[in-house]
Amino acid sequence: MSRLSTIEIKILFLFGLVALLSYFNSDKPRIFILHSSDPDIAFVQEFDSGTLRSLANNRLPISLKRHYLSLNRVHHKRDEVIKRTMAMHALRQFDPNLVITFGEDSNILISQVYEKQQRPDIVYSGILNPNDYYKSSSNKKIFGVRGGVPLDALKELLTEIYRDQTIKVSVVGRDNAAARATLKEISSYSWSQFRVQKAALFLYFDDLKSFIQSANQSDTNLLLVLNYAGLRDATTDEEISDREVVRWIESNSKSLPLGLQRNFVSDGASLAIEASRHEIGRQTMQMALDWLQSSRSRDMTPQSSINKHFDVAMRQDLLEKRGITLPMIFIEQARRSGQLF
């Protein structure tokens, strides 16, 4: 065999190095995060910042891809199908070891896509339905972070506002999978002195207005707003801006409107409480990373967890107009999270 030249042996080394690095790259765990909503929505950004907080402490090399279904703005079945197809295409291309889903629509999509498959591992986050709802007959590595409505915190907050009064609640929202699941969760919760009088989900703003006007005629003293983005005008079928919806609710609802999404207050309302998306994001990513680290060496059983952290948002002037003063601890919580207006 003839002797190698210096340049030939350097090229050989380079090929070897690139081959080894490429092998490591392909062997890296791949995490796919699927969001139901747009990336510019506040709670999505909160969730993402929570995942980044966990990733900042992570040292295991991973590949990460985020995909946004953006179903919150879709009103036609055809568009919805396109969005889902695009997500499935992205999933197939990335071939993840682990999928994190955020939002009920993405949870459902993933449970359908991977129903009959053992791989990938799946972490559902902010799940609203019971765990069994997402279980697959073949994939045992499914777990999640429950994080719907912080019902215990909500109950405590309302007790502070209404003291010994009986609270008669109207529940309203825009009709979608998440709202349906939330409504189910609220209905099944043990509220003691609370009574859910009326509950309805709509696609059109005019229906929502009628519902609130009818609630004003009754003796309900709390209006629980599950969500409101994407409501449309019944006559023109055009989408109504979030701000317009919230301002109408705030100025026309006799009873205190309380949102279950933080941006309800930034859009003009007086009070909102929601599960901390940042904390859900952090917990979910941490759970996923722990799982990836441990599943390589041991056969662990996936564990689910419940998020108990929440955020409060409020406008003190509007609350004062309604004669409501909240305990300092809630005001401070809102101030710390930059949600005291």
Partner 1 sequence: MTAWSLKARILSDSLLSNLDPVSLARVIGAAQEVAYQAGETIFRQGSPADSVYLIQSGIVCLDLPSGRQVTALEGRFGEDAICDIPRYICTARALSDIVVIKCPLASFPNRNTLAREFKANTILSLGSSLAADNLAITDATPSKQPALASSTEIIGWFMCLLVPIFLYQQAIINLLPKQVAIFLALLSAGLIMWVFRLVDEFIPPLILILSALFIGLVPQEIALSGFSSSSFITLLGVFALSQAISSSGLSYRFVLWLLKKLPNRPIFQETALLAAGYSLSPISPSANNRLALVLPLFRDMRESLSLQKTNRSATALMAACFSGSMLMAAMFATSRSASISALEMISVQVRDQFSGIYWFAAAAVAALVLTLLHFVFTRWLFFDSTQNQLSKQRITEQLGVLGKINNREIVAIVCFFLFIIGSSTVSLHHINPAWLSGLVLIILLLTDSLSKDDFQKKIDWPMLVFLLGIDCLTRIMHHLGIHNLLSNYMSENFNFVHGSVEIFVVTALGITCALRLILPVTAGMLVACIMLIPLAELNGIHPWICVFLSALFSDIWFFPYQCSSYMQIRSAGLHHEFNESSFLIYNRLIDMGRVAAAFVSLPYWRWLGLL
Between 20 and 82, name the residue whose CB sits nearer to partner 1. Answer: 20
Between 96 and 173, name the residue whose CB sits nearer to partner 1. Answer: 96
Quote the Cα angle for 248-250-251, to 5°: 65
- Which x/- pattern over 59-98 shows residues binding partner 1 (rule: CB under 8 A)? xxxxx-----------------------------------
**Which DSSP string corresponds to 114-176?**
TTT---SEEEEEEE-S-GGGG--SS---EEEEE-S--HHHHHHHHHHHHTTSPEEEEEEEE-S
CB atoms within 10 A of CB 131: 13
Between 3 and 78, name the residue whose CB sits nearer to partner 1. Answer: 3
Between 5 and 192, name the residue whose CB sits nearer to partner 1. Answer: 5
CB atoms within 10 A of CB 336: 11
CB of 293 to partner 1, least distance (A): 8
CB of 59 to partner 1, least distance (A): 5
Stretch that binds partner 1, among 5-13, 192-200, 304-312, 332-340 (CB under 8 A): 5-13
Residue of 127, 102, 105, 120 lying closest to 291 (CA atoms): 120
Stretch that binds partner 1, among 2-10, 34-42, 172-180, 201-209 (CB under 8 A): 2-10
What sign does the dihedral 329-330-333-334 (CA atoms) show?
negative
Phi, psi of 224 (to 5 degrees): -95, 115
1 touches partner 1 by CB under 8 A = no
- Catalog residues that contact partner 1 under the rule CB under 8 A: 3-10, 12-13, 16-17, 20-21, 24-25, 28, 59-63, 297
